[in-house]
Chain A
Amino acid sequence: NAGVTQTPKFRILKIGQSMTLQCTQDMNHNYMYWYRQDPGMGLKLIYYSVGAGITDKGEVPNGYNVSRSTTEDFPLRLELAAPSQTSVYFCASSPGQQETQYFGPGTRLLVL
C-alpha cells in the first residue's frame, strides 16, 4: 500500500490564482482530513469527510473548498490564493472516528 499520497510537493502561487491540492489514499479509509501547518505551529483542521459524498468544515475553512466523490480521493481547492494561505498542507485518513490518522508527506504552498 502506498498509504496517503499528496501532489504537488511544492507550489508557488500568485495572489488571486487558484489551484487544487490532490490527496489519495489506498487503505479504504472512510475518514479523510485536510490540515494546514504554519511554521512552528501545530495542525489546524480545514475540512474533513466521514465518507464519500459527505464533507464538513473544520476550524479554519475560509478560503478553501473540498469534495469527496470517491472513497480514495479528497481534493482541496483554493479559489483565490492569498498570502495568508502560505503554509504546509497535510492530508490524512483514518478507518473511523477516534482512530489513528495516517498522514501524507505534505504540500508546501507559497503565495506571493
Chain B
Amino acid sequence: GESVGLHLPTLSVQEGDNSIINCAYSNSASDYFIWYKQESGKGPQFIIDIRSNMDKRQGQRVTVLLNKTVKHLSLQIAATQPGDSAVYFCAETPNTNAGKSTFGDGTTLTVKP
C-alpha cells in the first residue's frame, strides 16, 4: 500500500550544526512533495516543496533532495537554530486522486544550545 514514512522519529542536534531529516515514500505516482514544520500547539507551516522533475531545490537555509530511484526525500537545514525545534513532516501528492496528500508521522527536531 501507499505510505510516507520517516526513518527516525527524533533528531537532536547542537545549535549551529546542520540537520538532515529523511523521508521514504512508496507511491510511484507521487510527483509533488512538501516539507512542513509544525511548532507546538500550531498548525503545519510550509517550508519547501519539490516536484519530481527536479532532484534538488534550495531555499533560505533549507535544501530538499529527491531521489526518485529509491523513493527517498530529505530535508537539510543549515546552521540549525533553536527556533528550528519542531516536528517536521513530509507530504506526497500523486498525480492522481486530486488534492489527496499523504503525510508521514513526523520527525521531532530538538536543537540544543
Given contacts A33-B99, A48-B99, A50-B99, whether A102 and B46 have CB atoms under 8 Å apart is yes
Please state if A98 and B32 are interface contacts (CB–CB under 8 Å). yes
Interface residues of B in 90-113 (CB under 8 A from A): 93, 95, 98-106
The interface on chain B, measured as residues whose beta carbon lies within 8 A of the other chain's beta carbons, has a size of: 24
Is there a chain A Cβ closer than 8 Å to B25's Cβ?
no
Q: What's the Cα separation between A106 and B38 when bound, in Å?
A: 12
One of B4, B43, B49 near A100 (C-beta < 8 A):
B49
Residues of B within 8 A of A33 (CB): 99
Please state if B44 and A90 are interface contacts (CB–CB under 8 Å). yes
How far does the Cβ of A89 sit from chain B's closest Cβ, in whole Å? 10
Size band of the A side of the interface?
20 to 34
Residues of A within 8 A of B89 (CB): 42-43
Q: What's the Cα separation between A106 and B40 when bound, in Å?
A: 11
Please state if A50 and B49 are interface contacts (CB–CB under 8 Å). no
Q: Is the interface of A mostly helix, strand, loop or mixed?
A: strand
- Contact bitstring A6-20, B, C-beta under 8 A = 1, else 0: 000000000000000
Is there a chain A Cβ closer than 8 Å to B14's Cβ?
no
Binding site for A on B (CB under 8 A): 4, 31-32, 34, 41-46, 49, 51, 89, 93, 95, 98-106
Given contacts A33-B99, A90-B43, A105-B43, 15 further A-B contacts (CB under 8 A): A4-B43, A31-B99, A42-B105, A43-B89, A43-B103, A45-B100, A48-B99, A50-B99, A90-B44, A94-B99, A97-B98, A98-B31, A101-B34, A101-B101, A103-B44
